[in-house]
Chain A
């Protein structure tokens, strides 16, 4: 099973792919909207890419709860 850091790094790659943001910026305490400026459509793309990459399901009604990178990493850890 992937470690927290492996999931964070994997997620950071996806954020970079979708938004161009430097992967090093994507740290656990960062808010997707406030700190990383990820818009809602980019978030959908990141979520769908994360589902494929980590083999998990992230329902639309859960996405609003994933405010920070740490929230997303925890959710993926809990599912996988």
Chain B
């Protein structure tokens, strides 16, 4: 039996660059930054006062009463999923909901709801804890809310693998379709962790860049993957969603197909709970498996949307992974890190970057990596510093995501 082909037929996002796909893609190609200084009172005492908040607050888009019953992770997921669903042209009334699934990931879950209810508990007592706190903060709330939006009644999953979660959502959604468990799966990831507690925690573990927080520097230059002056990531928030569909199902309804999900690799480092393997062995295996599963050769890969978060170690390790897996062909690959513009969306990162990877294939254009003034000599990659043309013909593009816990997810997309 031939392998079921999985294609992308809808895209959606809300993130620091834009509240939808069109504005996001325009901002990305123009090399704009969504990073800014936090002027809110709660940020005043934090060691890091720079983050990338969403460009359009979800409460401006969603119904007020609906929004107050949702953690921000679910609000962002719903905005992205609704756009992707509308973009796909699928109609709930014409679908069998039992053949529709969701794989909406989150790295941290409803942390803002948890903490605001804990504040209420401490200040006003247990009576003031919201009766909706649990269904709002539970990690599967965004996936469940998306399922309610589209009437999905096949598997509704929440992959959790820290900063690899969003990419894992896409990989596992493709599996559901290949296994014949669903015809359509809305996949992606969401995160809303710009709150003093996660900010302090990431800062204390030296993961966030401290540049610009006290010295009054320009916040838009702080996220600088592969640059010699990089010193940590910038925390972002947002969501990305992709409608995945079996090729047969998409063709039968005359859908517009963006790209094909060729294959994925999911591995674990088995090295450390927070530190990446310095040689990137787990990530290398993930990329190698994605190539193997896709049945393509390294020469087919023309573009990589890298995980590259702007940390000193991780960015170098990813360069090694690409050299090991792509060999001499790495010289012909246009590599970028859109985190230079969006910051790091944690569980939303892999999803937003999946959207960017698919658009790069559609438009044959790699978005740039901004702030790359002095490329680290340990990283021998061809990095686009302005929007760059990609080759015509049949091409493949790779999206990498790596997360705490040693999670590695690589997904390959192909033109169609």
A residues sitting closer than 8 Å to B (CB atoms) are 17-20, 41, 44-45, 48, 51-52
Contact = CB atoms under 8 A, between A and B. Distances in A.
A19 B65 contact: yes
A51 B127 contact: yes
Interface stretch (B128-136, B142-150, B164-172): B128-136
Contacts of B130: 45
Contact of B65 (A18, A41, A48, A52): A18
Interface of B: 63-65, 68, 127-128, 130-132
Interface of A is mostly: helix
B194 to A, nearest CB: 25
Given A41-B132, A45-B131, 10 more contacts: A17-B68, A18-B65, A19-B65, A20-B64, A20-B65, A41-B131, A44-B131, A45-B132, A48-B128, A52-B128
Contact of B127 (A17, A19, A20, A48): A48
A43 to B, nearest CB: 9
Contacts of A44: 131
A26 B229 CA distance: 61
A18 B130 CA distance: 12
Contacts of A41: 131-132
17 contacts: A17-B68, A18-B65, A18-B68, A19-B65, A20-B63, A20-B64, A20-B65, A41-B131, A41-B132, A44-B131, A45-B130, A45-B131, A45-B132, A48-B127, A48-B128, A51-B127, A52-B128
Contacts of B65: 18-20
A52 B132 CA distance: 18
Contacts of A48: 127-128
A17 B68 CA distance: 9
Contacts of A19: 65
A44 B127 CA distance: 10
